Structure 1
Amino acid sequence: TQNSSMCPSIDDFRNQVYSTSYSLIFVLGFVGNSFALAVLIKTLHQSSPFHVYMMNLALSDLLCVMTLPLRVLYYVRKGRWEQGDFLCRISSYFLYVNLYCSIYFMTAMSVTRFLAIVFPVKNLQLVTVNRARIVCLCIWIFSSLTSSPFLMSGQHVDPSTNKTKCFEPPKHASNRLPKLQALNYMGLILGFILPFLIIILCYAGIIRTLLSRTPATRRQHGSAQKAIKMIVIVLLTFLVSFMPYHVQRTIHLNFLSKEGTSCSEQTFMHKLVVVTLCLAASNSCFDPLLYFFSGEGFRSRLSSLRQTMRNSTMHRSVKLKPISSANGENHQLDAN
């Protein structure tokens, strides 16, 4: 058995990858989701259940990316936390609340799309804006409560370096491991496997219904194209962001409770933690694609917003024109 403290540190790799990735995710996530949220708020009068889920997803992503600059600061300072215990706890908490809110909002969007295509008549009675709002409220409460254990661990002082630490993964054979493993299995089943199964079943139903339609009917239904784009984006987000993170987290926690691991194994595992956590945080960058390509009339909302802004600009310039022409006449009179 090799003690992890005797193994070469991956701190330089970790600090570089985290600070670069989180900076990029912050910029892309903040711009994309702020823009989407602005469009969705401006066109609130055209509300639909899908619109409600999109708004909540954008809000959840913004909450998450707002905490990333604190992480960037921590890794730029080479693992020294100077922002206090409260911000340490809240930054970890918001990352996990967003992660599971994103998964559940995507699941709700998939179920909504499934009902609209497979049961179009029942859908009108089942899926309403008010029901969508209640579902969103339940998702927020559930994600906030199930992520609350992350509020329990805050900053701590590393006795070997005397540095104040935050966001640190558990050490080998830590006494926190049994509790973390139990939390992980709960998160894995309720927060990943169950929603993923629901999404797969919804998409199987959607594809089956679309394939049973005649080509002429398929062309008439714009919802078919939106559904296919949504399937591609959501599955990509799950396969790139959520799956590697949940699989690796489970393997890593089991690995930490094992005895007799070599330094190369420990280094490899720690590097995988860094890469998969960055991928998990990157889900905030995928979501704006979801609004733009499969959002219910998102592009038409965007063009109507553009048209409204253009009309108001023209209205303003028309108001100003008589004043400038009157000034022109005055100049001519002065010249005579």
Structure 2
Amino acid sequence: MNLTNSTQSNFDNCSSIDDFRNQVYSTAYSLITVLGLVGNGLALAVLIRTYQSSMPFHVYMLNLAVSDLLCVMTLPLRVLYYVNKGQWNYGDFLCRISSYTLYVNLYCSIYFMAAMSVTRFLAIVYPVQNLRLVTENRARLVCGGIWLFICVSSSPFLMSGQDFDPLTNKTKCFEPPPPDGLDRLIILNYVSLTIFFVLPFLIILLCYAGIVHTLLTRSHVARRQQGMGSRAIRMIVIVLLTFLISFLPYHVQRTIHLSFLSREGTNCAETIAMQKSVVVTLCLAAANSCFDPLLYFFSGEAFRNRLSSLRRSMKGSAMHHSARLKRAMGTEPGENHQMKAS
């Protein structure tokens, strides 16, 4: 208790970073919302319109796009909260759902990337067994299991709702937990760090090591598998960059920050720097929704073919509609030709 009181007293004596926090969060979440809605909305439209030719890899992409869209649809509430300088006006239910959805997206993204990596690994390292093991129905079952597992295991994030702050006379949301819940939060952090980040990241690294080893040691590769290998390399680069930019800084900083909260003798400079790093790394974590469309476009030729096919079909549909409109107005192409000849 003395440790907690000492830490909290030190925080109270430091200057507030509210202006920095409100400006960075409102700007970053606005950009993420726009980019995430456009990128994932386009990807989802392409995947749904061409779903009749679905493959296991694209089942994972479809679920990843849905997860990202659910996340970015709640970000405008966070933007309004920080634009209003930390005043929450939208009820306890939306406060809990907004917090919960962000973390569900974060960990669903990690596990869907792990599933996509395993799929690529089997296709390149064990191509014969892959035909029997990897099917569209099994991909759907894996996605359903990931959704269920992440939604249930992330339920502790639903425990944190809105709270009234008598010092500022404001209703708060998305704020740090009270000091008396720090021990419980540290335990939850290590559990989530192990299950939701370290474990899937190790699976991804092992898959990529196997893929790279196979591509480097295979003396003769069929043309089809050469193309698959180049797509796998692009996926490796994008996924690792996403982890290095979004997931790794957030999880490392979160662990350091919780350890910092339990320390004695911290000064204001350290406290302010730590609080600002929380703001920056959380924005980077939320930005994973903007990186995933790059994964759709660059990791598979099939997605680009679907996009080109959809664009051609939409162009053909527009030309057909225009021709029907001309006929309805009595301006057949043949009539126009005769008028010009005369």
TM score, norm. by length of structure 1: 0.94
User: What residue number does 2:52 align with?
Assistant: 45
User: What residue number does 1:207 align with?
Assistant: 212
CA distance in 2, matches of 1:235, 1:244: 13
Which one is further off, 220-229 or 306-315?
306-315
- 5+ residue gaps, structure 2, are 1-5
User: What residue number does 1:159 align with?
Assistant: 166
Instruction: Write the mapping of 1:188-267 to structure 2, written as runs, cut at 5 A.
Output: 188-214=193-219, 217=222, 221-267=226-272
Instruction: Write the mapping of 1:163-202 to structure 2, written as runs, cut at 5 A.
Output: 163-171=170-178, 174-202=179-207
Change over 3 Å in CA distance of 1:251–1:82 after alignment to 2: same
Whether 1:270 and 2:275 are equivalent positions in the alignment is yes
User: What residue number does 2:79 align with?
Assistant: 72
Give how far 1:216 is off.
Answer: 6.3
1:304-323 Cα offsets, whole Å, 9 max, x none, are 11222222233334445553
1:229-263 Cα offsets, whole Å, 9 max, x none, are 00000000000000000000011111111122111
1:42-96 Cα offsets, whole Å, 9 max, x none, are 0000110001000000000000000100000010111111111000000000000
Change over 3 Å in CA distance of 1:216–1:106 after alignment to 2: closer
What SS does structure 2 have at the residue aligned with 1:176?
A: helix
Whether 1:92 and 2:102 are equivalent positions in the alignment is no
1:1-28 Cα offsets, whole Å, 9 max, x none, are 6621110001011001000000000000
1:133-189 Cα offsets, whole Å, 9 max, x none, are 000001101110111001111000112112110001235xx1111111111111100
Aligned amino acid, residue 186 of structure 1: V
Which one is further off, 154-163 or 87-96?
154-163
1:241-300 Cα offsets, whole Å, 9 max, x none, are 000000000111111111221111110110000000000000000000000000350000
Q: Is the 8 A contact 1:51 1:296 kept in 2?
A: no
Give how far 1:219 is off.
Answer: 8.0
User: What residue number does 2:311 align with?
Assistant: 306
What SS does structure 1 have at the residue aligned with 2:168?
A: coil
Which one is further off, 29-38 or 255-264?
255-264
What SS does structure 1 have at the residue aligned with 2:331?
A: helix
Change over 3 Å in CA distance of 1:80–1:108 after alignment to 2: same
Instruction: Write the mapping of 1:297-336 to structure 2, written as runs, cut at 5 A.
Output: 297-320=302-325, 323-325=330-332, 328=335
Paired residues, what number?
330
The correspondence for 1:295, drawn from 296, 300, 303, is 300
Change over 3 Å in CA distance of 1:13–1:215 after alignment to 2: farther
Change over 3 Å in CA distance of 1:196–1:326 after alignment to 2: closer
CA distance in 2, matches of 1:328, 1:279: 60
What SS does structure 2 have at the residue aligned with 1:221?
A: helix
Change over 3 Å in CA distance of 1:127–1:161 after alignment to 2: same
Q: Is the 8 A contact 1:245 1:280 kept in 2?
A: yes
Aligned amino acid, residue 269 of structure 1: M
Change over 3 Å in CA distance of 1:182–1:311 after alignment to 2: same
Q: Is the 8 A contact 1:158 1:165 kept in 2?
A: yes
CA distance in 1, matches of 2:207, 2:95: 38
The correspondence for 1:144, drawn from 144, 148, 151, is 151
- 5+ residue gaps, structure 1, are none
Q: Is the 8 A contact 2:246 2:288 kept in 1?
A: yes
Change over 3 Å in CA distance of 1:189–1:326 after alignment to 2: closer
Q: Is the 8 A contact 1:240 1:279 kept in 2?
A: yes
Q: Is the 8 A contact 2:60 2:139 kept in 1?
A: yes
Give how far 1:213 is off.
Answer: 2.6
Change over 3 Å in CA distance of 1:216–1:141 after alignment to 2: closer
User: What residue number does 2:3 align with?
Assistant: none
Q: CA RMSD in A?
A: 1.9
The correspondence for 1:127, drawn from 105, 129, 134, is 134
TM score, norm. by length of structure 2: 0.92
Change over 3 Å in CA distance of 1:320–1:8 after alignment to 2: closer
Q: Is the 8 A contact 1:89 1:150 kept in 2?
A: yes
